[in-house]
Amino acid sequence: MPAAFEARVFRRPKSRFPIAEIQKEGQWNAAKKRCRLNDEEVQMAKQLGIGPRTLIKNIPSPSERWKQPVKEWVRNLYAKKFGNRCSHVGTSKTSLAARDGYGRASRASAPETESDFIDADSDVDLPF
């Protein structure tokens, strides 16, 4: 082969900032550890455009009892933006039993069949 032809070997371009990528990966590992996230939740955060510093900033302090844990916050944002593509997205173990099949909070006394409804014309003695 001619020497000119051998010099035209196409190579994959290297990253312009390899050190920045390594630092960013270290930040993701720190956020994953501090926020107690798994790989799936880290991927969800990346798809949402949330950075590792934002996740760490949103860790609730003990005085912020109203704030969701980062794990649930990411899952709820993902479910809101992309819909419930996964059946477990946006739900925790404790809230699975309290929800119906459509993601809404279920009522304990919700009628399941049409016969459970009370007809308005019936003479049933109601307790109220």
The predicted structure's pLDDT at residue 24? 84
Q: Is residue 58 part of a domain?
A: yes
Q: Is the pLDDT of residue 94 over 50?
A: no
Establish if 49 belongs to a structural domain.
Answer: yes
- Residue 35's domain comprises 19-99
Torsion of CA 103, 108, 112, 117, to 10 degrees: -120
Q: Which two tokens stand for residue 7?
A: 């010099």
**Mean pLDDT value of segment 59-69:** 93
- Residue 43 in any domain: the answer is yes
The answer to whether position 125 is within a domain reads no
> Token pair for residue 126?
């109601």
Q: What is the pTM of this model?
A: 0.52
Across the range 87-98, mean pLDDT stands at 47
Model confidence at 85: pLDDT above 60? yes
At 73 the pLDDT is: 96
Lowest-pLDDT range, 15-29, 60-74, 102-116? 102-116
Count of structural domains, the chain: 1
Is residue 12 assigned to a domain?
Answer: no
Residue 35 has pLDDT above 70, yes or no: yes
Residue 122 resides in a domain: no
**Any domain includes 105:** no
| Domain membership flag for residue 51 | yes
Closest C-alpha to 25, from 41, 47, 46: 46
C-alpha 17/C-alpha 44 separation (Å) is 24
